[in-house]
Structure 1
Amino acid sequence: MSLTEIPLLLEGPCGALEALYLGRDDARGLALICHPHPLHAGSLHNKVVATLQRAARDAGYATLRFNFRGVGQSVGEHAHGEGEIDDAEAAARWLLAQHPGLPLTLFGFSFGSCVAACLGGRLEDAGVAIERLFMLAPPVQRFSVDGRLPQHAALTVIQPEADEVVTPAAVYAWSAALERPHELLKVAECGHFFHGRLNELKALVLPRLQS
């Protein structure tokens, strides 16, 4: 069985969405991965996104990472978050259709973490169970997710302590005020893009997928 991703064009709200898909007959679950901000060079090829895909692959998941509208071969223009949630929903529903009955885990990095969080709440409200949600360096000061999180998914927030893009203190305060159960993992001496720390990131994520 090949564990190589294949390129696809999925049908999104504005037209085609560029994606990389790893399907497998023995999948234990599904992983959808949302990339960082489209207006700041975010794409499905981001190194953090690729690391999350490899962690999910190694844990036995079928995976899908995709470009939001206006990025790469994806049709459309940046829609300030709300349209990107629609894109993510289209990608998630495509992935769920390929593997009926398997649990869905959502990943997001930076901007994509807030998109994934809001998608999780939307899907849960529609009766789709979300097993886990991973939010990496979520820009909660700029993209409100209050009242939009899934309530039944296991939630892990991973925040670099030396983040130069997202204010760590804001993430810690948001986490402290969050009433639903979750875990907050702080990565010491680490910047926003996890430069030199990708192996450590994978080591944090992988056992949580295997549990």
Structure 2
Amino acid sequence: MPEVIFNGSDGRLEGRYVHGEGPTPPLALILHPHPLHGGTMNNRIVYSMFHMFARRGFSVLRFNFRGVGRSQGMFDHGQGELRDAAAALDWMQTHNPNSTGCWVAGFSFGAWIAMQLLMRRPEIVGFMCASLPANMYDFSFLAPCPASGLIVHGERDTVSPPESVVKLVNKLSQQRGITIDYHCIEGADHYFSQQMDEFEQVCEAYLDKRLKPADRPLALAR
């Protein structure tokens, strides 16, 4: 897949990009886990989500946050990383001017950034979060959550205990017109170490449900 370099707010950012099918492909932006704990765009969960969307005809981008790999800059505790994600989405839109909508997906820290981007960009119509760190970060900005999406968590996640995620899901699920699909995978840890197959099955089934022909144009059903 093509390597790309694009400009962020504080330097160049390194990514991997696949252009979608047809003249108006939807977009998907995939965000990696914490840069100070080994998170990169080549994380296996990020890689898996990248290819889920690519197989469904999306234009898909995953990239390294500032200070990771060949991306310039330094870790900025989420603020700069959110600007990186916004710059990545801008870059994708430049190369897909007729896109039919956008999804955002992230793992752990990347899921936190994804949900912040969701609040700032109305063109994002769906999201997919793995191991949402609901106990580590304040998610009160999701008021209200503007789009439906999927949250997948591990039953034995000791980094972000599922109880904190359930509390957030229950809060978000009270909103009218928004559906939060929550799936807790039995026996799985924060990284889905032994349950990667089940993780992928859950995510793929959700995408197929949201993108069924009755929901055309492809990515616009909220």
TM exceeding 0.5 = yes
Q: How far does the alpha carbon of each residue in 1:76-133 deviate from its partner, in whole angstroms, 9 at most, with x for none?
A: 1111111111000000111122112321000010000010000111112xxxx21211
Q: Distance in 1 between matches of 2:92 and 2:142?
A: 22
Pairwise CA distance, 1:54: 1.3
**Residues 131 and 190 of structure 2 are in contact (CA less than 8 Å); yes or no, is this contact kept in structure 1?**
yes
Q: Which moved more, 1:144-153 or 1:197-206?
A: 144-153
**Residues 13 and 64 of structure 2 are in contact (CA less than 8 Å); yes or no, is this contact kept in structure 1?**
yes
Match of 2:145 in 1: 151
- Among 114, 126, 139, which residue is 1:132 paired with? 126
Q: Which moved more, 1:13-22 or 1:52-61?
A: 52-61
Q: Distance in 2 between matches of 1:94 and 1:149?
A: 27
- Does 2:120 match 1:122? yes
Q: Which moved more, 1:142-151 or 1:159-168?
A: 142-151
- Does 2:200 match 1:202? yes
Matched AA of 2:19: G
Pairwise CA distance, 1:207: 3.0
**Residues 17 and 60 of structure 2 are in contact (CA less than 8 Å); yes or no, is this contact kept in structure 1?**
yes
Match of 2:188 in 1: 190
Pairwise CA distance, 1:43: 0.4
Q: Distance in 2 between matches of 1:159 and 1:52?
A: 15
Distance 1:174 1:150, change over 3 A: closer
Unaligned 5+ runs, structure 2: 212-222
- Structure 1 vs Structure 2: percent identity of aligned residues? 31
> How many aligned residue pairs are there?
203
Pairwise CA distance, 1:150: 6.9
**Residues 10 and 16 of structure 1 are in contact (CA less than 8 Å); yes or no, is this contact kept in structure 2?**
yes
**Residues 19 and 44 of structure 1 are in contact (CA less than 8 Å); yes or no, is this contact kept in structure 2?**
yes
Distance 1:20 1:185, change over 3 A: same
Q: How far does the alpha carbon of each residue in 1:152-198 deviate from its partner, in whole angstroms, 9 at most, with x for none?
A: 32221111111121111111112122233312111111111111322
Matched AA of 2:66: R
Q: Distance in 1 between matches of 2:13 and 2:7?
A: 6
Q: Distance in 1 between matches of 2:48 and 2:171?
A: 29
Match of 2:2 in 1: 6
- Does 2:69 match 1:47? no
Matched AA of 1:187: I
Pairwise CA distance, 1:64: 0.1
Unaligned 5+ runs, structure 1: none
TM-score normalised per structure 2: 0.86
Q: Which moved more, 1:82-91 or 1:201-210?
A: 201-210
- Among 62, 65, 73, which residue is 1:65 paired with? 62
- Does 2:55 match 1:23? no
Q: Distance in 1 between matches of 2:20 and 2:5?
A: 19
TM-score normalised per structure 1: 0.90
Match of 2:217 in 1: none
Structural RMSD (CA): 1.6
